[in-house]
Amino acid sequence: MNLIETFFNWSVFINALPLLLEGLWITIALGAVSIVAGLVTGLLLALARLYGAPVVQVAARIYIDVFRSIPLLVLLVLVYYALPFVGIRLTSFTSAATALTLVSCAYTSEIFRAGIQAIPKGQFEAADAIGLSFFNRMRDVVLPQAFRIVVPPLTSNCINVLKDTALASVVAMPDLLKQATQAQALAANPTPLIGAAVLYLLLLLPLVRLVAFFETRHYNNTR
C-alpha cells in the first residue's frame, strides 16, 4: 500500500465519518461544559484569592498551585478510577468534565486575577468615593474593564481545554479521539486518525484566529 491508501483512504474515511462526527459532538459538549464551569469557578476563585479572608486566600493559592502542577491525565485517572473506592462513582463524561474543570478553574482564576490587578488603582478609588458596594464596584467598574483585558488569554485557555478533551479517551469517553481509534482498529487503517485530526483542525483553527483578532484589537486599543 502506498501513502495515499494508507493514510488518506477516502472509502475508509467515509465509512468512519459517522463515528467521527458522533465523537466530535461529544468533544464539543465536553469542552463547552468544562469551559463554562471553568470560567465561572475561576472568576469566583480569583475574587476569593484577591479579596477573601486570609485563610480563604491561602486556600485559593494552594488550590491554584496544586491544580496547575498536577498533570491532567493523572487527575483524570484519579477521578474516574480512584473515587469509586470511597463510594463516589461518576460517569466517564462527568469524570472528564470534573477533571477538566478543576484544572481550567486554576488557570482561569490566574487570568482573571491578572486582569483585575491590571485595572488602575484610581478606578477602585473612584468607585469607593461614590459609595459603591463591593458587588456593584466589581460588576459596574472593575470586571467590565478586566474582561476586555483577559479576552485573549481566556480564549487561548478555552482552546487548550478543547484540545485536552482528547485525554478523556483514557476513561472510556467516546470522544473524537476514542472514536477515531476504534474506527482505525475496525478498518485496520490509520485514515480515521487523520480524519480526526482534520476535524480538530476545523474546530480549533477559527478559535486560534479569534485569539489573534482579540490580541490585535487589544494592542491597537492600548497604543
Going from N- to C-terminal start, the domains of the chain cover 3-221
45 against 216, higher pLDDT: 45
What kind of fold does domain 3-221 have according to CATH?
MetI-like fold (1.10.3720)
Entry pTM: 0.89
111 contacts 157 by C-beta, under 8 angstroms: yes
Q: How many CB atoms lie within 10 A of CB 200?
A: 19
Question: Does the pLDDT of residue 223 top 70, yes or no?
Answer: no
pLDDT (mean) for 169-182 = 88
Beta carbons within 8 Å of 53's beta carbon, 6+ residues apart: none
Q: How many CB atoms lie within 10 A of CB 95?
A: 24
- Report d(CA 133, CA 203) in Å as an integer: 42
pLDDT, mean over the chain: 90
Q: How many CB atoms lie within 10 A of CB 135?
A: 8
Question: What is the predicted pLDDT for the residue at 110?
Answer: 95
* Residue type at position 166: A
Helices (H) and strands (E) in the chain, counts: 10, 0
d(CA 165, CA 180): 14
